[in-house]
Amino acid sequence: MTNAIVERHESAPVVASNSSADILPVIMQLASNPQCDLDKMDRLLAMHERMSAKNAQTEFNASMAAMQCDIPSIAERGEGHNRKTYATLEDINDVIKPIMQRYGFAMSFRVEHKAEGVSVTGVLMHRAGHREETTMLLPTDTSGGKNAVQAVASSVSYGKRYVMCAMLNISTRGEDDDGYAAAPVATITEVQAKAIRELLAKCKPETQDGFIKMYGEPEMIHKADHDKVRAQLSKAVQRDQGAAQ
């Protein structure tokens, strides 16, 4: 794929930050007054929106900076033309999505057909309300004898991979690159996660906090760690219940 055009955009948050709540009582008090000065109300509302936007962007930047430390290089397990390897969209999602969720991020895509090819826009959203966008314009990939539908699908997949890597600063490595590349890791089932959650609910708050710091949500526990984690939690429940008697 060549001749790709990337554009970066920023948009205002859609959710107000709680740190701008100090001005809300003033706005509410003005709104309840029949003789309210509408110009003053408009200025206060505009100030509230600016404060909300600034606070949301600050939270976005702080979470992004913290998340960067946890994002690994992704193993290149896909193979394209001339035996060139690349990280597949599926592998990127499997590795990155749990990390994004932990830091309050989510990503969606918009796809548009244009005269020049296919436009893929990635929208990175944060729980504080701030969001950022990056757009990549690609020609349709007709290599390898693809038909029209396959050409568009290939370009869309390519665009999603590169937009996601660009927005999150994701790097990729060969799968056998000294063990530094991350491949998707199987996680526990929903039934196992439910059982872990029930055990966790019986533990003391300190134990619960320690679990969250180490594993995040029960659904993020690696399959290979299930038995060990369950045994540790069962022992913690017995210890906590014994101390309470």
Same domain for 206 and 176 = no
Same domain, 48 and 101: no
Shared domain for 29 and 91, answered yes or no, is no
Based on the fold, state whether residues 77 and 165 are members of the same structural domain: yes
pLDDT at 142: 76
pLDDT score at 83: 72
Judge if 239 and 149 occupy the same domain.
no
Name the strand (E) or helix (H) holding 201: helix 190-201
Residue 244, pLDDT score: 63
Looking at the DSSP bridge assignments, the partners of residue 6 are 136
In this structure, the answer to whether residues 194 and 116 fall within a common structural domain is no
Kindly state the average pLDDT of the residues 26-44.
73
Domain endpoint, select from 182, 209, 225: 182
Q: Same domain, yes or no, for 196 and 170?
A: no
One domain for residues 212 and 236:
yes
Q: Average pLDDT, stretch 101-115?
A: 93
Query: Per-residue pLDDT averaged across 142-168, rounded?
Result: 88
- The larger pLDDT score, comparing residue 107 to residue 212, is at 107
Residues 153 and 101 in one domain: yes
Q: What is the pLDDT of residue 10?
A: 47
- Return mean pLDDT, the chain: 81
Mark which of 162, 182, 202 sits at the end of a domain: 182
Q: Does residue 135 share a domain with residue 62? A: no
pLDDT for residue 151: 85
State the average pLDDT over residues 22-29: 69
For residue 184, name the pLDDT band (cuts at 50, 70, 90): low
pLDDT tens readout for residues 185-203:
667 888 899 999 999 999 8
Domain-terminating residue out of 23, 52, 68: 68
* CA nearest to 193, candidates 160, 232, 229: 229
Sorted by sequence, the CB contacts under 8 Å of residue 30 that are 6+ apart come out as 36, 37, 40, 41, 44
Expressed as residue numbers, the domain containing 218 is 190-244
**Domain identity same for 110 and 177:** yes
How confident is the model over 36-66, as pLDDT tens digits?
Answer: 777 777 787 888 788 888 999 999 999 999 9
More confident residue, 106 or 148: 106
Residue 176: pLDDT band (50, 70, 90) is: very low
Phi, psi torsion values for 169, nearest 5 degrees: 55, 45
DSSP letter string, 83-148: G-EE--HHHHHHHHHHHHHHTTEEEEEEEEEETTEEEEEEEEEETTS-EEEEEEEE----GGG--H
Specify the number of domains making up the chain. Answer: 3
Query: Would you state the pLDDT for residue 40?
Result: 75
Q: Does residue 19 have a pLDDT over 50?
A: no
DSSP character at residue 222? B
